[in-house]
Amino acid sequence: MARRATRDPAGRSPLQLSRGSGTRMKKPHYTDAGKSPSKARKEAATTLAVAALSFLAAEPERLERFLALTGLGPQSLRAAAREPSFLIGVLEHVAGDETLLLAFADEGEINPQDVGRALEALADRPGHTGAA
């Protein structure tokens, strides 16, 4: 049975990003006057990437495939997860497999395009979605 993300009182998933195409996406609250929208977007993208990694880790087959493709071992996964480039790789892996992408989006109740937006934010390259 799939585990659902915790929702806020408005019924929104914490995985929902601030930029979108009319879907129910959570707008970030800018409580810190020094925080730029770009920084808030990167933080939301990082949250989404960590959620994607958790999604992969929830099923041994998904995680084994990801580890095999990256060349990482289970013992080095935690250290690698601290690297921004690793989080980009997680999102590129999810985005590169439509079935996996749709399953992740369904479980997190997000728009699949949010993964591309998160890639763009983490890569700090407008228009970059990780697609070849």
Domain positions in the chain are 37-123
- Output the pLDDT for position 110: 94
What is the per-residue pLDDT for 34?
A: 55
pLDDT digits (tens, 9 = 90+) for 30-45: 344 455 778 899 999 9
State the Cα–Cα distance between residues 40 and 114, nearest whole angstrom.
15
Query: Residue 64: is its pLDDT beyond 60?
Result: yes
Give 115's contacts (C-beta < 8 A, 6+ positions apart): 48, 52, 91, 94, 95, 101, 104, 105
pLDDT at position 129 over 50:
no
- The mean predicted confidence, pLDDT, of the chain is 77
**pTM for the whole thing?**
0.68
- DSSP summary character for residue 35: -
